[in-house]
């Protein structure tokens, strides 16, 4: 079901009218279409009595490499009856699927399919929570014959049409930056190389603008408009059932949003990592005024599912959401995030990533 929802979203995002609307609020750099469609898309869902509910979309979704290692370890010790063919196939085929994904991304911009040198780029990568994942990605790609570097963008140089680092020419970047438009001064070399078409960047600013800008949830939660734009009835039906109603926060609807705030969740349009988000039932008037001054959307609140578990010998409950990692609308891996509190986090005792086994 979740994969069908993902495919419906990607069909909607390919509609000319959808793209025109999404790009109308995007930065100028997003109007450039170099070809790649985005490695490791992440679709986050809450599960409930009404089926999967889409919470958000991410273009540089972290955790796939770590979750593969975790799921394989869990798979080795679980009851054989839980070792379904679908789960085993996803885990056994992960490395091949990742390699094919990067090959396809490169082919969409270059005639040759394999990069000679790929850089995994993030700000101060060794300080990042996901740094072990970068190392796993590096190991996988190196083992498949792709020279791979983990770099801070300040290590990149762009001279005479070549993006280089450590004396090596970089022809592909696996982009883990959260500066989605590559606007920061520290990202200038990467930005210029991208604009000149000198390097394949995935995911890139256009993919973020079309898929992960949270204003797009306004479009995806309006199935009738999507039908009018050409989305078929079946896919519009999936979105009608799975995408909570979302609206833009503005002065013109402030009174109504304040009145129904307890039923809403407020998110910055370009946010990431649950930063700057607010559950409506906890809003103060002062915080709401700050939201009105920023760029926010308001999404109908959908409670997370819960799972009973034992932590330090005590049975307790934790919230759970599901992340589907995909490429070109096809699932690469499913993983859960277990947490306590208003939003997903990795600080909860007994929380963090957890494997998902398909039954």
What mean pLDDT comes out for the span 147-158?
Answer: 97
- Residue 265 in any domain: the answer is yes
- Residue 94 in any domain: the answer is no
Q: Which of 250, 163, 138, 271 is nearest to 208 (CA)?
A: 271
- Residue 178 in any domain: the answer is no
Cα–Cα distance, 53 to 132 (Å, whole number): 30
Q: Which of 264, 269, 256 is nearest to 297 (CA)?
A: 269
Question: Which has more pLDDT, 167 or 85?
Answer: 167
Q: Which of 183, 239, 238 is nearest to 216 (CA)?
A: 239
Domain of residue 255, CATH code: 3.30.1490.20
- Residue 249 in any domain: the answer is yes
What mean pLDDT comes out for the span 106-118?
Answer: 89
Query: Two tokens at 320?
Result: 């759970």
Whole-prediction pTM? 0.93
Burial class, 76, CB count within 10 angstroms (exposed 0-12 / middle 13-18 / buried 19+): exposed
pLDDT at position 14 over 80: yes
How many CB atoms sit inside 10 A of residue 68's CB?
23
- Residue 224 in any domain: the answer is no
**pLDDT at residue 359, rounded to an integer:** 65
Which residue do the tokens 């926060």 mark?
Answer: 249
Tally of domains in the chain: 1
> Please, are residues 237 and 223 in contact by the beta-carbon 8 Å criterion?
yes
> Please, are residues 249 and 292 in contact by the beta-carbon 8 Å criterion?
yes
What mean pLDDT comes out for the span 94-116?
Answer: 91
Those residues whose C-beta lies under 8 Å from the C-beta of residue 190, and which sit 6 or more positions away, are 121, 153, 156, 158, 163, 173, 182, 199, 201
Q: What is the band of 83 on the pLDDT scale with cuts at 50, 70, 90?
A: low
Q: What is the band of 80 on the pLDDT scale with cuts at 50, 70, 90?
A: low
* Residue ranges with strand state E in 78-128: 117-121
Which domain does 289 fall in, by range? Answer: 245-301
Cα–Cα distance, 171 to 121 (Å, whole number): 13
pLDDT, tens only, 226-271: 999 999 999 999 999 999 999 999 999 999 999 999 999 999 998 7
Q: What is the band of 59 on the pLDDT scale with cuts at 50, 70, 90?
A: very high
- Residue 104 in any domain: the answer is no
> Please, are residues 96 and 104 in contact by the beta-carbon 8 Å criterion?
no
pLDDT, tens only, 182-234: 999 999 999 999 999 999 999 999 999 999 999 999 999 999 999 999 999 99
**pLDDT at residue 135, rounded to an integer:** 97
- Residue 200 in any domain: the answer is no
69: left (phi over 0), alpha (psi -120 to 50) or beta: alpha
Question: Mean of the per-residue pLDDT values for the chain?
Answer: 92
pLDDT at position 295 over 70: yes
Query: Two tokens at 62?
Result: 């972290």
């Amino acid at each position: 079901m979740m994969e069908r929802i993902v495919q419906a979203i990607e069909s909607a995002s390919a509609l000319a009218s959808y793209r025109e609307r999404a790009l109308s609020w995007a930065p100028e750099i997003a109007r450039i279409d170099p070809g790649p469609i985005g490695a490791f898309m992440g679709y986050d869902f809450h599960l409930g009595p009404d089926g999967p509910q889409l919470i958000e979309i991410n273009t540089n979704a972290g955790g796939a490499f770590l979750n593969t290692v975790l799921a394989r370890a869990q798979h080795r010790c679980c009851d054989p009856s839980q070792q379904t063919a679908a789960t085993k196939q996803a885990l056994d085929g992960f490395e091949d699927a990742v390699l094919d994904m990067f090959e396809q991304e490169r082919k969409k911009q270059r005639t040759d399919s394999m990069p000679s040198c790929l850089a995994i780029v993030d700000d101060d990568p060794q300080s990042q929570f996901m740094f072990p994942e970068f190392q796993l990605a590096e190991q996988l790609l190196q083992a498949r014959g792709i020279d791979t570097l983990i770099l801070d963008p300040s290590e990149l140089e762009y001279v005479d049409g070549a993006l280089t680092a450590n004396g090596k020419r970089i022809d592909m970047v696996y982009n883990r930056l959260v500066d989605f438009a590559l606007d920061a001064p520290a990202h200038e070399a990467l930005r210029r190389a991208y604009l000149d078409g000198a390097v394949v960047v995935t995911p890139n600013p256009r993919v973020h603008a079309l898929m992960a800008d949270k204003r797009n949830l306004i479009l995806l939660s309006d199935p009738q408009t999507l039908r009018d734009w050409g989305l078929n009835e079946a896919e519009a039906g999936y979105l009608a059932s799975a995408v909570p109603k979302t609206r833009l926060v503005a002065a013109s609807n402030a009174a109504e949003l304040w009145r129904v705030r307890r039923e809403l969740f407020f998110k910055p349009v370009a946010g990431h990592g649950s930063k700057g988000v607010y559950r409506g039932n906890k809003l103060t008037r002062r915080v709401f005024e700050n939201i009105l001054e920023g760029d926010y959307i308001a999404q109908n609140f959908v409670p997370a599912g819960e799972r009973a578990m034992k932590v330090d010998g005590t049975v307790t409950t934790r919230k759970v959401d599901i992340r589907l990692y995909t490429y070109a609308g096809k699932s690469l891996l499913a993983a859960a995030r277990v947490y306590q509190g208003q939003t997903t986090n990795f600080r909860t005792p007994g929380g963090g990533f957890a494997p998902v086994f398909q039954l």
